[in-house]
A and B are shown apart, each in its own frame.
Chain A
């Protein structure tokens, strides 16, 4: 096995949306009640393609005893506890709480009676992964359907006992009530002694947002007390008996190959397990310190390959296109004709750097072989994907691999791959003991993957009265998410150009939507200034999408747009857009100090709408959190590299937002009870970078077209100040 992936580039969108080849789930339905005890169980069957992609065990082993395409299930036991099984994972986005709210709402039980079992390949149905803002729009309705069916079943049970019709009964507070007689049967009582299983093939109607009772209101994080007392166990906190601690010998540069290695000194150390498998060299020992010493005792010779540096990055991206994978462009009207005929033509180039997710919990895994079966705990967004990676790398059948994801110390799109899981599993098979690996911060900054860097070129044409008539947009490498313009432009040519990335790259909160919005909304600001129209008015003139218009109007109103400058160095800007069913607009105020050249974001107002709001407080967390995370990428985050090495793989060199960087932030949330809920973890990030860039231009007259905008502040020329 090799620890590093063979294919170096990991294109984000295509990678995310690629379905696994073989779907499978381990818990046989006939074994279900053995695990869960007596009670009532509902198994939902994926009814349509999107649900099947989201979840759904499409089985291939011909066992007719099991229903096909099971996407989720829940169980009500005889003490009234409702256990919900979903392959989604909790990484700080609070989906454990919001999914539980939806079930409680639909089943008519208090939130406290819900237990969520998440991200466990042996217990939960197949799920592609927790990414793409899909849990709320796709998993939540599935669980609601299961809960709704359970409610119907309970109503039917009670009706049979009382010899009446179910439609004369009501469900509420974990009970079935007969309003005519005043009789009550609790769910616990109805589940007692039963092993009732029910498949749910159809899309039953679910409760519309306007009638929600538990959902739609703020609910605190489930199990919150375990987090303030330090009791919650993240993957690195697991301590199985006899566990060994692992360290991996990392190559000195990316793409380096092992020429020779002398393991003898490490192998001679007592209690040290040493593994060499192809270019994978690693040790495990009873303490981390001993493992470090063993690693230091290994002498290896590597062959390095010359590679580019960050300085050459953007020309490299333009010159190293992956022509095989090139998607077809989006075309409408004729950009060529419209540009030729235009009153005004403009063109600009924007760039975005590679950035790191830097989750505070680094990649970690605990692997244990017992009786020929492998169990791996790991912080990941794709437990089933990692199960597959492990089975394939270790050449064992998938049903002998169980992956469990404890609630994880954040991910932001950065924990899709199973690198740490593979390393721990390989060592554990050699050591015949449980092995734990926790990546160091330097490993996390170096050997994980990055948000793709990119170059974006835009051409636009304007009429004399400020209507955009042509829009040509080329994105090199960073990706296709959020690439379409929401503005009304008759002539469009929009194209994503895949590139053979010099660094390993992958998913990130919002994917390429941040880059595409940065370029598009900066360019819209440039066009507004060229047309000599206020940036808000200019957008409105070119935008008929009502939900997005409402966001711009709402953010601008709270922000006080247009604002008068009251001090030197002050500036105001905006940016916004549509992505993954979420509508966002952000206004920012910046202050540029002409003496220190420091750029400070003073105030942010973000308006966001994603349909009906499931948990207002949780949504506020996501919107504000996305803005703070976005602040780092907008102003100062950048992965620097040279000849196969990352030059800033430490928090001391790679600056992330800290308390002193945090501006005043207001989140305006529009609750659309008339619309189904969409996801919210990603889209609120996209308006911030252009809003800041546009505000810097407003403050200084300097147009910045590269993310990060001002990693070392902004030195002003005399004539700009």
Chain B
């Protein structure tokens, strides 16, 4: 039976089996390949999406878990050619090398700033502890979150 969900603001139908991982369905069925497979074990954060606004590891969810819920992926942040302040900050800070972790980092950062518009450095570290960057770009990622927090001051993320 098809499963309905809101994906990046649009009503979408998943035809995949309900036990398919949400990550696979987003990537292969809807073509939203910005969300990455890094470990399939909920350990690296590359597949992070927002499910009803909360950061979740899409490799640990089934399509069924997303039924009638709202999903935001990395592709959902840019509006009318305008980058989200977190995306802009990652760009400005050059906060990536191979950039395979970047989607997950940005989604986790947006989720943090929604909850905590002015996070301290330890709070940023805490929020991104579950996201692995193997290239060693951590310092710039923290700087990007701080830049985005400033840019978004007084705005709803």
Contacts and interface: CB of A to CB of B under 8 A. Distances in A.
Contacts of A629: 134-136
B106 A228 contact: yes
B24 A288 contact: yes
A656 interface: yes
Interface string A634-670: 0000000000000000111000111110100100000
A445 to B, nearest CB: 10
A180 B2 CA distance: 74
A228 B83 contact: yes
Nearest to A631: B136
Range, interface on chain B: 35 or more
Of B24, B91, B94, chain A has the most CB atoms within 10 Å of the CB of B94
A621 B98 contact: no
Contacts of B106: 228
Contacts of A230: 32-35, 73-75, 103
B99 interface: yes
Interface in A663-712: 665
Contacts of A412: 134
B87 interface: yes
Contact of A659 (B17, B100, B125): B125
A682 B98 CA distance: 15
A492 to B, nearest CB: 34
Contacts, number: 162
B27 interface: yes
Contact of B136 (A228, A358, A625): A625
A278 interface: no
Most buried by A among B27, B28, B31: B28
Given A228-B102, A239-B31, A441-B41, A659 B138 contact: yes
Nearest to A223: B99
A62 to B, nearest CB: 41
A360 B37 CA distance: 8
A408 interface: yes
Given A228-B91, A239-B31, A360-B134, A621 B36 contact: no
Interface in B1-47: 16-17, 19-21, 24, 27-28, 31-41, 43-44, 46
Given A359-B134, A662-B138, A92 B98 contact: yes
A229 B97 contact: no
Contact of B97 (A236, A410, A438, A627): A410
B74 A229 contact: yes
A131 to B, nearest CB: 15
Given A441-B41, A660-B129, A409 B98 contact: yes
Given A228-B90, A409-B36, 10 more contacts: A227-B99, A227-B102, A236-B36, A359-B100, A359-B134, A441-B39, A628-B136, A629-B136, A650-B41, A658-B130
Among all A-B residue pairs, the 3 with the closest Cβ atoms: A230-B34, A92-B98, A409-B100
